[in-house]
Structure 1
């Protein structure tokens, strides 16, 4: 038990705030709570140790590989897999600690990949990296639920993302859409949802929050084929989904470092609109974009739009007298601007810049009302980004540009100073 807690209990006893019986009950409660908690450091080093052992075995075998016969090579190929299964089975049957589950799951995960690779090499089985990753992930997926392993779930998400990028971004293969990536991600969701229910504020849950958001953001581009201009619309809808998920009850009260949905949803929307604020982008979109509803990109964008709208309604249903938040509706506005832009590039450029400017002013207002300097400066950065980007579109003298930069910098300083002064006055 932590010494600070013991000191607090002793102090309460000395001042007759609590009785000896209450003090004993409190001590017993926290003692039992600590006993039931897994040793996090031991779990981390267990996973790291299992990974290093697995890699070490592979390196030792690789160094002497050419000296072995085919039968011995085959035995060595399955040996890590057998060892991993024995350890995992022992962990399940004996109901060992979480550290055992994470370590054995991690070792078996890499043993599966090593065995597949070695058998393919020994018997010259043809294939490519995409099919290898697919087989590996399919065989490793059940370990998430058999061992209730967070480490294995993280590895599956990471390797599923790698698989999708390998297929979809055409790294030496025919460009194809990695639909099985969606199946892999959906297969991990029940485990993630259980973590959200049992331990929403745990650091491991925060890792999953960021992992899902980053994975989907990176992989969405693999679903863009010939109609790439609609990819802008797809990403706008995805960021709308993220931001509104971040405003649902389970996430909105969490710290920003845990709420990856709000962070990436907001930043992604701002970056995307900053790119679209250039007229040259819209002119290219007018030439190339196809808004035919039967294209893969348009169908995905439509599905994401529906999902974002449903999540928006759900988040608003649970809000009580909260102020209007423009960022929650950006995806709808971008959808309208996109269809305008297909017909008129200039109108879309003007509307995009206006939307960005209003978003910046909205963030400044939210930051000023809530005395949150991070939100205030975020809004100022958005406004600054609009001004800086327009320097590339408008031909004005360098002296004027310099004066504008000075004015923007002075605005940063003045705004923060005024808000800091008001905050000090309220705290008096």
Structure 2
């Protein structure tokens, strides 16, 4: 209503033409319609899940009183019903996203219920990883048959659960199946990037894939776990660089899962390594060079570092060296610093200097661009470093208190100066 009134006023004042006003109205109407449609899809999926769970609970209430044949029939009732809804969606409601996503989610959970109930009825032996793997493999084709992004998201969560269950508790080949199953979901993700780069489901996929890879990278560690710090720092550097691609320039932070995960992950690693106690527990490794070179930790660290270096080189060619952010260089500085730390305590000092430099440069960038968020982000980095040093026994309490007071004063002064500068520029 306010927009329409403002546009009428601008048209009467001959600031814009009536055609321009109509185009602006149509644009915002389409955005509102897209937002409403997405909400309907989400509520439709939630409704389908609740209906499926309700049916399962009703069946479970009378389960002990049923014969084996009755149990078998009831085990397939939700699955057959879900398949019927999916068939109806494909034939009659192909262009209705609410129908497609809701029926696909219903099928996904009905499939799990059928597998679990049949296993219980006929006492089929199995464990959680086997159940998850069967469930995910049967669900994978439905992502492409239904063209369902909701099903793809649920699949990513499912394979991450499977990978974590096998990767952190076993040492057999089954832990590598996750990576093969992840490849199965990537074509759908690629289609989302091409056709719906600003869609809600695409934004959620960014977060899920980044979180899934972060969770599963740790399963690679076996005999040379110390090298995984390099692998993780390079992975977070890769995420941060990807988050600055042109694809993400016109979307907000919440729609760009790669950049916040990359930045937060890098800072967490640096803060962990900023404690001298960490390095005291990390004794000088007695590695045999052939074993190191053939270890999965070394190979993964090399591959991820090379990939991150390549992506960084693409960024440099596109935007120029001066526009590369300090956080994007951290993974390259981290590798020699970490390796030196096995033999010298100077790495602790270097890590602390890296964190402090990141904070100061971010504050400087925020001040230069008059960006209050960046300014406070840089101050938060410095504060995190000081909080970490608060637990350092080698620093007296008086100095810790002085540091906190100074940072608090810095927050007030920086924000006051920025707000004052903004008012002057208005």
* 8 Å Cα contact 1:80-1:111 kept in structure 2: yes
Is the partner of 2:188 in helix, strand or coil?
Answer: helix
User: Aligned partners of 2:386, 2:11: CA distance in 1, in Å?
Assistant: 63
**Aligned with residue 229 of structure 1, among 207, 226, 250:** 226
Is the partner of 1:229 in helix, strand or coil?
Answer: helix
User: How far 1:283 moved relative to its partner?
Assistant: 2.9
User: How far 1:125 moved relative to its partner?
Assistant: 0.9
User: Aligned partners of 1:138, 1:266: CA distance in 2, in Å?
Assistant: 33
> Which residue number corresponds to residue 308 of structure 1?
308
Pairs within 5 Å for 1:88-107:
88-96=86-94, 97-107=96-106
User: Aligned partners of 2:149, 2:395: CA distance in 1, in Å?
Assistant: 56
* 8 Å Cα contact 1:368-1:419 kept in structure 2: yes
Is the partner of 1:39 in helix, strand or coil?
Answer: helix
User: Aligned partners of 1:264, 1:35: CA distance in 2, in Å?
Assistant: 31
User: Aligned partners of 2:18, 2:410: CA distance in 1, in Å?
Assistant: 58
Moved more, 232-241 or 395-404: 395-404
> Which residue number corresponds to residue 192 of structure 2?
195
Pairs within 5 Å for 1:230-269:
230-269=227-266
> Which residue number corresponds to residue 49 of structure 1?
47
Alpha-carbon spacing, 1:18–1:372, altered in 2? closer, same or farther (3 Å): closer
User: Aligned partners of 1:357, 1:66: CA distance in 2, in Å?
Assistant: 64
CA deviation profile, 1:21-71 (whole Å, cap 9, x unmatched): x98899899989988998333322221111011111111111111222212
> Which residue number corresponds to residue 364 of structure 2?
365
Alpha-carbon spacing, 1:396–1:113, altered in 2? closer, same or farther (3 Å): closer
User: How far 1:361 moved relative to its partner?
Assistant: 1.5
* 8 Å Cα contact 2:150-2:201 kept in structure 1: no
Alpha-carbon spacing, 1:100–1:113, altered in 2? closer, same or farther (3 Å): same
> Which residue number corresponds to residue 67 of structure 2?
69
* 8 Å Cα contact 2:210-2:258 kept in structure 1: yes
User: Aligned partners of 1:84, 1:65: CA distance in 2, in Å?
Assistant: 21
* 8 Å Cα contact 1:106-1:151 kept in structure 2: yes
Alpha-carbon spacing, 1:31–1:391, altered in 2? closer, same or farther (3 Å): closer
User: Aligned partners of 2:410, 2:350: CA distance in 1, in Å?
Assistant: 25
* 8 Å Cα contact 2:315-2:324 kept in structure 1: no
Normalising by structure 1, we get a TM-score of 0.89
User: Aligned partners of 2:318, 2:231: CA distance in 1, in Å?
Assistant: 27
* 8 Å Cα contact 2:224-2:295 kept in structure 1: yes
Alpha-carbon spacing, 1:175–1:418, altered in 2? closer, same or farther (3 Å): farther
Alpha-carbon spacing, 1:421–1:73, altered in 2? closer, same or farther (3 Å): same
CA deviation profile, 1:201-253 (whole Å, cap 9, x unmatched): 23322222222222222222222223222221121111011011011111234
**Aligned with residue 208 of structure 1, among 205, 225, 229:** 205
Normalising by structure 2, we get a TM-score of 0.89
* 8 Å Cα contact 1:38-1:99 kept in structure 2: no
CA RMSD of the aligned region, Å? 2.9
User: How far 1:400 moved relative to its partner?
Assistant: 3.0
* 8 Å Cα contact 1:178-1:222 kept in structure 2: yes
Long gaps (5+) in structure 1: none
Is the partner of 1:362 in helix, strand or coil?
Answer: helix
Alignment coverage as a number of residue pairs: 421
CA deviation profile, 1:69-91 (whole Å, cap 9, x unmatched): 21221111122221111211121
Alpha-carbon spacing, 1:13–1:265, altered in 2? closer, same or farther (3 Å): closer
User: Aligned partners of 2:408, 2:147: CA distance in 1, in Å?
Assistant: 52
Alpha-carbon spacing, 1:129–1:325, altered in 2? closer, same or farther (3 Å): same
User: How far 1:175 moved relative to its partner?
Assistant: 7.4
* 8 Å Cα contact 2:316-2:324 kept in structure 1: no
Is the partner of 2:323 in helix, strand or coil?
Answer: coil
User: Aligned partners of 1:410, 1:24: CA distance in 2, in Å?
Assistant: 50
> Which residue number corresponds to residue 81 of structure 1?
79
Pairs within 5 Å for 1:281-360:
281-288=278-285, 290=287, 292-319=292-319, 322-342=322-342, 344-360=343-359
Alpha-carbon spacing, 1:198–1:4, altered in 2? closer, same or farther (3 Å): farther
Alpha-carbon spacing, 1:250–1:33, altered in 2? closer, same or farther (3 Å): closer
Pairs within 5 Å for 1:94-173:
94-96=92-94, 97-170=96-169
User: Aligned partners of 1:407, 1:32: CA distance in 2, in Å?
Assistant: 49
Moved more, 415-424 or 23-32: 23-32
User: Aligned partners of 1:224, 1:139: CA distance in 2, in Å?
Assistant: 29
* 8 Å Cα contact 1:228-1:289 kept in structure 2: no
User: Aligned partners of 1:208, 1:160: CA distance in 2, in Å?
Assistant: 14
User: Aligned partners of 1:24, 1:350: CA distance in 2, in Å?
Assistant: 61
Alpha-carbon spacing, 1:37–1:361, altered in 2? closer, same or farther (3 Å): closer
